[in-house]
Amino acid sequence: MARYFIEVSYLGNRYSGFQVQDDVATIQSAVEQALRTFYRVDIELTGSSRTDAGVHAQSNFFHFDTDLDLQGKAVYNLNALLPHDISVKAIYGVKPDAHCRFDAMGRAYNYFIYNRKNPFLHQRAYYYPFPVQLEKLQACAAVLPEYRDFEAFSKRNTQVRTFQCTIELAEWRLTDEGYCFHVQANRFLRGMVRGLVGTMLKVQKSTDPVANFRAIIERGDCTQADFAVPGHGLYLTHVYYPDGLLHAL
């Protein structure tokens, strides 16, 4: 039996998250249905990470085991079966013990906001019709790599053993349509990126946003963070794996 990784991209608006759940549409359930239709057998997928309802991905991964002889042309066939808002980008052969979640070295996210009404960005970014002070947001983002404990930005009722994360890069960027928060880390907590964005947007209004932002981080109290920004502004952009792990079919 061989193991494969399957790379997907998707718009998450119509789905209740990435991983399979009972009686609701998810990315995993849609991909498993396409595999079942094409190969005429049940194939159970394991996801590399969770994304909440409404969240998008430019690149995310599943892995699965099968005795089937998979070919690269299956990408075309699966895409013909999948709905318009999910795409298979590639299928990779991997070692039998490779794991799409536990072998990931890090992930990167973008969160997009815009403050001038734009119908082409509806449900693709967060419409924030208020002043955006880019320098203050950038100053807040710059302190994130100094910290390791991000309990303040983890939603409650999450089952993790540690709140320790290493943020390698965090910055705000000006785009043609608005603003983008880009963050890369070895791991992320549940709701972490949305909590960071919402909190930075909140503290930018204060006279000393960096001090206020540091205080929220250091208190470790998630009730002080703001998770209210919507999921449709968030994109998983990259899952990083060790060199040589993935071999495209």
Does CATH place domain 2-103 in 3.30.70.580?
Answer: yes
Report angle CA 173, 85, 171 to the nearest 5 degrees. 15
Q: Tell me what pLDDT residue 161 has.
A: 84
In the chain, which segments carry CATH 3.30.70.580? 2-103
Catalytic site includes residue 69: no
Element containing residue 32 per DSSP (H, E): helix 27-39
Question: Can you tell me which residue has the tokens 């005795």?
Answer: 67
- Neighbouring C-beta atoms of residue 196, cutoff 10 Å: 29
Residue 110 phi, psi dihedral angles, 5° rounding: -120, 140
Spatial separation of the C-alpha atoms in residues 204 and 136, rounded to whole Å: 6
pLDDT tens string 143-189: 999 999 999 999 877 777 899 999 999 999 999 999 999 999 999 99
Question: Which 8-state DSSP code applies to residue 20?
Answer: -
Contact yes or no for 218/163 (Cβ under 8 A):
no
Does residue 77 have a pLDDT over 90? Answer: yes
Among the listed residues 42, 52, 176, 208, the single catalytic one is 52
Which residues, at least 6 apart from 45, have a Cβ–Cβ distance to it below 8 Å? 6, 20, 28, 31, 32, 35, 62, 63, 64
Residue 239 phi, psi dihedral angles, 5° rounding: -115, 125
What b/e sequence results for 124-142 when a residue is b if at least 16 CB atoms lie within 10 Å of its CB, and e otherwise? bbbbbeeebeeebbbbbbe
User: Beta strands of 97-243 (E only): which ranges?
Assistant: 106-114, 126-127, 167-174, 179-185, 234-240
**0.75 cut: is pTM over it?**
yes
Structure tokens at 68: 């089937």
Which residues, at least 6 apart from 143, have a Cβ–Cβ distance to it below 8 Å? 210, 213, 214, 217
Q: Tell me what pLDDT residue 23 has.
A: 80
Q: What is the CATH code for 106-237?
A: 3.30.70.660
Spatial separation of the C-alpha atoms in residues 48 and 50, rounded to whole Å: 7
Q: Which long-range contacts (CB under 8 A, 24 or more apart) does 75-80 make?
A: 77/38, 78/31, 78/34, 78/35, 78/38
Out of 47-61, 70-84, 192-206, 218-232, pick the least confident: 47-61
pLDDT tens string 33-64: 999 999 999 999 999 987 888 999 999 999 99
In the chain, which segments carry CATH 3.30.70.660? 106-237
Query: Closest Cα to residue 9, out of 71, 118, 89, 67?
Result: 89
